Amino acid sequence: MKSSDLKIVFFGTPDFAVASLDALVKAHFNVVAVVTMPDKPAGRGKHLQQSAVKQYAVVAGLPVLQPERLKDEEFVAALRALNADLFIVIAFRMLPEVVWTMPPLGTFNLHASLLPLYRGAAPINRAVMNGDDRTGVTTFMLKHEIDTGDILQQESIEVGPDENAGSVHDRLMTLGAELTLDTVRHIAAGDLKPIPQESLLQGVEPTPAPKIFKDDCRVDWTRPGADVHNHVRGLAPYPAAWTMLYFGTEEQGTVKILETARLDADTAASLAVGEVAFEGKKVLVGTGDGAVALLTVQPAGKRPMAASDWLRGLRAEPQSVHFA
């Protein structure tokens, strides 16, 4: 079967999925419908906000389905009526079996990790937070357990020691779009040999990548400086690492830590854990094994700013400023 003859239904929600949908459309694949989340109230005015995928689909003239429940009989019947050959899922909700088993060529997912590494909702953040120097994207066939299906294809990239999750996200988004196209072409040609993830584990447990909550973002300054640096860049620019600010014993609210720099042990000041200080033109924070340089911060209710400007603007004795 020619890949252009395949009837495809695309499931997705955020910008990460838009890149692949755009690639499919521009390559003239037959996307017969797009499934995305219902419009939701957002902002102070609580105006209905369309997902990034819906916004793209509307402009591209693609039919859009927005079910509240994926097991809804009307939605399932509408999917069946499309008579699609293949479903593609990227950054969407978990599909019920009645949906993902529907198309004759199956349903594949694009995941932003080198499975079986980083199964879960936050693979990019977790990989950078853990200091990995390599990650990638994987296409795999859906099965019952999330992110466990047989692998179709993978592509990898190197991660720079100071690169943040936002940069990795954008690079994987582009790489993922290319991999999605290539996977569809191979599925149409029937020449892929799926690889069970169990064969790659070799007795080692798969790496989890659970959803990130606010408490996960708090900086633990007792950790080694390298770990603190990785934590910050793995959460930048969103949802962002944060810490409590103190003047002496008085709590001053929270500060987001958006960018840090690693320091060699020889150049790290002798600071107490969480202590904030100038050293020359650098703003340093004490960690469990020295210090990190603070580059960009965002005080509560304010815009991101250079850490040096922030520290100079504080109405406090410099020696009393610390994080916890």
With contact defined as beta carbons under 8 Å apart, do 114 and 135 qualify?
A: yes
108 falls in which pLDDT band (50, 70, 90)?
very high
Q: According to the model, what pLDDT value does residue 99 have?
A: 98
Q: According to the model, what pLDDT value does residue 268 have?
A: 62
Judged against a pLDDT cut of 70, whether residue 175 lies above it is answered with yes
Q: Which helix (H) or strand (E) holds 254?
A: strand 250-261
With contact defined as beta carbons under 8 Å apart, do 290 and 263 qualify?
A: yes
Q: Tens of pLDDT along 3-14?
A: 778 999 999 999
C-alpha span between 40 and 312 (Å, rounded): 41
C-alpha span between 152 and 141 (Å, rounded): 7
- Listed as own residue / partner, the contacts of 197-204 with beta carbons closer than 8 Å and 24 or more positions apart are 197/115, 197/116, 197/140, 197/148, 197/149, 197/150, 197/151, 200/116, 200/151, 201/116
33 falls in which pLDDT band (50, 70, 90)?
very high
Domain locations in the chain as residue ranges:
3-201, 214-323
Q: For residue 100, give Cα distances in angstroms to 74, 109, 165, 320.
A: 16, 10, 30, 58
C-alpha span between 35 and 11 (Å, rounded): 5
Q: Tens of pLDDT along 155-165?
A: 999 999 999 99
Q: Tens of pLDDT along 220-262?
A: 999 999 999 999 999 999 999 999 999 999 999 999 999 999 8
Judged against a pLDDT cut of 80, whether residue 46 lies above it is answered with no
Q: For residue 204, give Cα distances in angstroms to 34, 75, 118.
A: 37, 40, 13
Q: What is the mean pLDDT of residues 23-37?
A: 97
Task: Say which residue the tokens 């009307």 belong to.
Answer: 74
Strand, helix or coil at 68?
coil
Judged against a pLDDT cut of 80, whether residue 277 lies above it is answered with yes
Q: Which letter does DSSP use for residue 65 in this model?
A: E
**CB-based contacts of 94: which residues, under 8 Å, 6+ apart?**
146
Strand 282-287 and strand 276-279: the pairing is antiparallel
Judged against a pLDDT cut of 80, whether residue 319 lies above it is answered with no
Judged against a pLDDT cut of 80, whether residue 298 lies above it is answered with yes
Taking the alpha carbons of 172, 151, 18, 242 in that order, is the dihedral positive or negative?
A: negative
Work out the angle at residue 174's Cα, subtended by the Cα atoms of residues 169 and 180, and round it to the nearest 5 degrees: 115
C-alpha span between 255 and 244 (Å, rounded): 6
This prediction has a pTM of 0.95
214-323 is classed in which CATH architecture? Roll (3.10)
Q: Which amino acid is at 142?
A: L
Q: What is the mean pLDDT of residues 90-97?
A: 96
Q: According to the model, what pLDDT value does residue 318 have?
A: 66
Judged against a pLDDT cut of 70, whether residue 171 lies above it is answered with yes
Judged against a pLDDT cut of 80, whether residue 80 lies above it is answered with yes
267 falls in which pLDDT band (50, 70, 90)?
low
C-alpha span between 175 and 8 (Å, rounded): 20
Q: Would you tell me how many other CB atoms lie within 10 Å of the CB of residue 98?
A: 13
279 falls in which pLDDT band (50, 70, 90)?
confident
| Topology of the domain covering 3-201 | Rossmann fold (3.40.50)
Percent of the chain scoring above 70 in pLDDT: 98
Q: Please provide the DSSP assignment of 75-90 as one string.
A: HHHHHHHHT-SEEEEE
Q: What is the mean pLDDT of residues 52-76?
A: 97
Tokens linked to 263: 């320091």
